[in-house]
Structure formats: structure tokens, C-alpha cells
Amino acid sequence: MTSLFIDGHTLTLADIVRVANHPGRLGLGLAEEAARRMRLSEELKTKLIETRIPIYGVTSGFGDSNTRQIGPAKVEALQRNLIRFLGCGIGEYAKPAVIRATMLVRANCLARGHSGVRPEIVVNLLACLENDILPLIPEQGSVGASGDLVPLSYLATLLTGEGTVLHRGEERSAADALAEAGIEPLVLSAKEGLGLVNGTSFMSGYAVLALHDAAEVAYAADVCTAMASAVLMGNPGHFANFLFEQKPHDGVITSAQLIRQLLGGADTRGPQAAALSQDGFRELDDPIQDRYSIRCAPHVVGVLRDTIEWAERWLTVEVNSSNDNPLFDVAESAVRNGGNFYGGHVGQAMDALKTAVASVADLLDRQLELVVDEKFNNGLTPNLIPVFAADDREAGLHHGFKGMQIAASSLVAEALKDTMPATSFSRSTEAHNQDKVSMGTIAARDARTVIELTQQVVAIHLLALAQAADLRGEKVVNPGVRAARGAVREVAPFLDRDRPMRQDVARVVDLVASGTLRKALA
């Protein structure tokens, strides 16, 4: 088994996705240098406690209660009460993939070695991950500062052997799951409860997985555009390389290149010359330019691609940071109080991501309307129904993709509604101690929701495009588009008569989200 050693500096977003989505495939361990740094930080914390100076969250209360100092004998009880009073999460439990990502990110942040916690904290977190022992974390209850206090308290509770967990898909007591895995429950010492809850790891778990899924949406959207151009018998010259060299945004260039590749190159010949009438007029057989939802598609999807690129850089910094407070400066033998728990970068990235994704959903819905509407689809059947002879008993009974287009439009409206920027809604909380907060967790959850809605839209559109390609036949479907149609047909058959399509949509969503579509066209 390949092993991943956590050191607080080199964790990649791809590592997080792999651990989150494929449990058990990587061995996990704490790097020796990280353990050394953690021990030094923990030793400094102990020395500072002995001096009787007030240390926030260690020998003082939390938040607005920081003026209340306690003695060394009470430090463990303080940490125990912290994770208990924060155990008030609301709503549905986060999905297992999000929880795995959260645990790995929190372990990595603590492994930087500035939080004053023992290496055993990280070692036990990683052992729980390896054994797929996951705390049940309610999704709601975090304002993103001081980080994800409420959600992360469930992670801390797991390590103490209390509460209920999900162990390889089965709910059971944490104590029983830890005992079966041979993991000793921990008594949290000074600062360790705060070190576990005071950070951006929950929002980062959502965000990293959202970025991964958004990248597959961007790829699938370009596939949809190529297929739509082909089945509508559009103008491939709209994707000529020359155009994009003149406005060279990286994401736009990438999208246009993929579309061009799937279309087998861009035909740049344009309309052919012909004689005009005596009055100097003629009606063209084909439009010179396709509608914006086809012609401008790289400029829409390219925005998403570029958003993903800079958001990935921000998230890579975030998951390899000490997003905790206070931090212990071993070199200067000092404790530093700051605001590294603030989730501003995560929130801003996710607000931008959900807007870019929803815009792609809207684009695909407009393409879908062109494909299903007999007024615009250049000779395809109305609503992509199968072809029936006039004297066939089935003639006039079928409505094909009419319901699917209605559903897609509804999904897009919901996605667009959710683009309201969560980071604009800071609330003053905790006796005005947390008087400016990030709302990063809500932004990340919103991004997750918008992406899930858009995945459904992508699936509906791919099904419609595969149907259109089958109706057109081989004469207008080039190899790239044929391969895309074939990938869809592996999981969903041709619509030969009206039938419920819910399961078809679900299978195509998985085709996209799993990366199988990308692999099929590689």
C-alpha cells in the first residue's frame, strides 16, 4: 500500500480527494520532522503554563471570556467543556467524503507544529481515517470564525471516545469503534481541544471536494458544447485557434482547444459566395453565426476553469497552514495571538466558484433548449422523440425530452438562486468578540449544492445530446462526438419511447463525477 506522510507543508488537493473518496487505499502516517516540531511546541506550551501567565484558551476562558484566568489544575477540564458546549450542530450530517477530507486537513494543519498539541492527536486522527471511523458532523452551525468551532467539536469528541460515529458505514458508539481498531481514547490536555476546533478544516473539506467536482463539470460542459455544435450542424469555425489567441485567457483557450479537438478541428472556410438577386439580396441557407450559448461557450466555461485555477492555489495554502489560535513560536519562546482561523480566502473562493458553476449550468440549459426545440434544432425531431411513421400507432403519443428540459430549467433556477454571496452576510456573534466573521463554511456548502445541481443539468444535457446524435446518424457525428455519445450509451440507452429518466440521469451524473467521461475521451 502506498503511504502518505503528513508534514503540514506538502499536502496536495489531489491527496485530500483521494483519501476522501477512496478510503483505505493510502496508508497514513505522521512525518518524523512534523512530530519533532509538535513536541517542541507542546514543550513550550507546558513551560509557559508553569509561569502562570494567562494563555488564551489554555489558562483562560474562550472568546469574550478570555479575561477569566484559571489555574494549571483546571486546564484539562476546560478543554473537555469546550468540546461539550460546542456540540450543538444542526441539520443533516455531512457526507463521509467531506468528513474524511476534514479529518485529513485538520491533521495536516496541526502537523505544522505550532499549535501546542501532542503528536498523538494527529496519529490518532490518521488511525481513525485508516480504519474509516468518522465522527457524525451536522452541517450547520459555523460562521467560519473562529474557524469551524461547532462542526470540529465532533472531531475532537471522537478522539476522546465519546459520541456516535460512522464506522465503515455503520453507526455505532465511538468507544466501541476505537476499541475494535485498537485506538486508545485520549484525554485532551491543555490547548488540544482548542487546537482541534479552532480552524478552517471543515469548510476546506467541502471546498477541496467542490473544486474537484467543478473541474469535471467544466470538462463535461466543453464536451456538451462540442456535441451541441455537431448535432445542431453549427459552425465549427467559432472555435478556431486564431480567435482565442486574440483574447488569451488560459481557461478559455483550454475550453476552445478541447471543443476543437472533439469536433475534429475548426472549419474556417465560412459561407460560400453566390450570386445575389437582381435586387441585391439572397437568403442564406445557414446562419453565419451560431447563438451565443454555442459560439461563446468557451468564454463561459473558461471563467470557471480560471476560477478553479486560482481557487486551487488559495486552498493549497489554506490546507497547509496553521489556521489556529494561539500559536506557539518556539524560536522566540513566545505565544502569539492572532486570527489565522479566519476563513476569508475559502469563503471568497467558494462564492466565486458557485457563481461560475451556476453560469455554466445556465449556458447548458440554453443549449438544451436549442436542441429540443424544433424551431431551433435544424431538423431534429420535436423534443428529440424517436421517428415514427405517420401511420404508426405510437405516432403523436410521445414527448421525449420535454419533461427533462423543464427539470433542467428548474435546477438551473435553483443553482442561480444560491449564488448570493454568503461572505456578504457577516454576523457579530459571541458577545461581539467574533464581530466580523467569514461565513466561509456556508459559502463552501453553497458551492457544493450548486455543483450538485449543475451535475444534474450536465447529465440531462448529455442524455439529450446523445439522443440527438443518434437521430442525426453517422453523417454529422465525428469521432470525438461519437466517443462522447458512446460513453453516455454505456450507462443509458436510446429513448425509443417515453419512459421515466431519473435513473438515467443518476448514472450519467456518476459518469461525469467519477471522471469516467474524461477517461473515455482521453
- For residue 311, the Cα-to-chain-centroid distance in whole angstroms is 11
Model pLDDT, residue 475? 72
Helix/strand/coil (H, E, C) string of 37-61? Answer: HHHHHHHHHHHHHHCCCCCCCCCEC
Model pLDDT, residue 512? 98
In percent, the amount of the chain with pLDDT more than 90 equals 83
Dihedral, 316, 319, 322, 325 alpha carbons, nearest 10:
130
Model pLDDT, residue 434? 74
The answer to whether residue 452 scores a pLDDT higher than 90 is: yes
206 is catalytic: no
Give 164: exposed, middle or buried? Use CB within 10 Å, 0-12, 13-18, 19+.
Answer: middle
pLDDT in tens, 257-266: 999 999 997 6
Contact between residue 314 and residue 349 where contact means Cβ atoms under 8 Å apart: yes
pLDDT band at 83 (very low <50, low <70, confident <90, very high): very high
Model pLDDT, residue 277? 76
Dihedral, 218, 223, 228, 231 alpha carbons, nearest 10:
-170
Model pLDDT, residue 396? 79
The answer to whether residue 17 scores a pLDDT higher than 90 is: yes
Give the C-alpha distances (Å, rounded to integers) separating 144 from 245, 323, 348. Answer: 41, 12, 12
pLDDT in tens, 340-350: 999 999 999 99
Q: Look up residue 9 and give its three cell numbers.
A: 507543508
Model pLDDT, residue 22? 95
Contact between residue 46 and residue 238 where contact means Cβ atoms under 8 Å apart: no
Q: Look up residue 417 and give its three cell numbers.
A: 438562486
pLDDT in tens, 27-42: 999 999 999 999 999 9
Model pLDDT, residue 266? 63
pTM: 0.95
- Residue 498 main-chain phi, psi, to 5 deg: -55, 135
Contact between residue 98 and residue 138 where contact means Cβ atoms under 8 Å apart: no
Average of pLDDT values for 402-429?
94
Q: How far apart are CA 13 and CA 319, in angstroms?
A: 8
pLDDT band at 269 (very low <50, low <70, confident <90, very high): low
Decide yes or no: CATH 1.20.200.10 for domain 209-268+287-326+354-521: yes
- Residue 6 main-chain phi, psi, to 5 deg: -85, 125
Domain boundaries, the chain: 2-199, 209-268+287-326+354-521
| 3-state DSSP percent of the chain in helix, strand and coil, to 5 | 55, 10, 35
Domains 2-199 and 209-268+287-326+354-521 share a fold: no
Selected catalytic residue, list 56, 93, 154, 292:
56
Model pLDDT, residue 397? 81
Average of pLDDT values for 11-17?
98
Model pLDDT, residue 39? 98
Q: How far apart are CA 516 and CA 522, in angstroms?
A: 10
CA Rg, the chain, in Å?
A: 27
Model pLDDT, residue 258? 97
pLDDT in tens, 125-152: 999 999 999 999 999 999 988 889 999 9
Average of pLDDT values for 463-476?
91
Q: How far apart are CA 366 and CA 297, in angstroms?
A: 11
Q: Look up residue 66 and give its three cell numbers.
A: 478570555
pLDDT in tens, 193-232: 999 999 999 999 999 999 999 999 999 999 999 999 999 9
Residue 161 one-letter amino acid: G
- For residue 429, the Cα-to-chain-centroid distance in whole angstroms is 28
pLDDT in tens, 84-107: 999 999 999 999 999 999 999 999
Sequence-distant (6+) residues with CB within 8 A of 73 are none
Contact between residue 486 and residue 268 where contact means Cβ atoms under 8 Å apart: no
Model pLDDT, residue 271? 66
Model pLDDT, residue 148? 95
pLDDT band at 429 (very low <50, low <70, confident <90, very high): confident
Q: How far apart are CA 183 and CA 180, in angstroms?
A: 8
User: By C-alpha distance, which of 236, 271, 295 is closest to 480?
Assistant: 236
Q: Is the dihedral of CA 181, 182, 185, 189 positive or negative?
A: negative
Q: How far apart are CA 30 and CA 27, in angstroms?
A: 11
Region for 303 from its dihedrals, namely left if φ exceeds 0, alpha if ψ lies in -120 to 50, beta otherwise:
alpha
Q: Is the dihedral of CA 69, 74, 75, 80 positive or negative?
A: negative
Angle at 411 between CA 406 and CA 414, to 5 degrees: 130
Q: Are strands 164-167 and 133-135 parallel, antiparallel or unpaired?
A: antiparallel
What average pLDDT does the structure give for the chain?
Answer: 94
Contact between residue 482 and residue 462 where contact means Cβ atoms under 8 Å apart: no
Sequence-distant (6+) residues with CB within 8 A of 9 are 112, 320
Region for 481 from its dihedrals, namely left if φ exceeds 0, alpha if ψ lies in -120 to 50, beta otherwise:
alpha
Q: How many C-beta atoms lie closer than 10 Å to residue 90's C-beta?
A: 9
Q: How far apart are CA 170 and CA 172, in angstroms?
A: 6
Q: How far apart are CA 111 and CA 37, in angstroms?
A: 8
pLDDT in tens, 276-324: 877 888 888 788 899 999 999 999 999 999 999 999 999 999 999 999 9
Residue 4 one-letter amino acid: L
The CATH architecture assigned to 2-199 reads Orthogonal Bundle (1.10)
Model pLDDT, residue 207? 98
In percent, the amount of the chain with pLDDT more than 70 equals 98
Model pLDDT, residue 267? 64
3-state secondary structure of 1: coil
Strands (E), 19-149: 26-30, 90-93, 133-135, 138-140
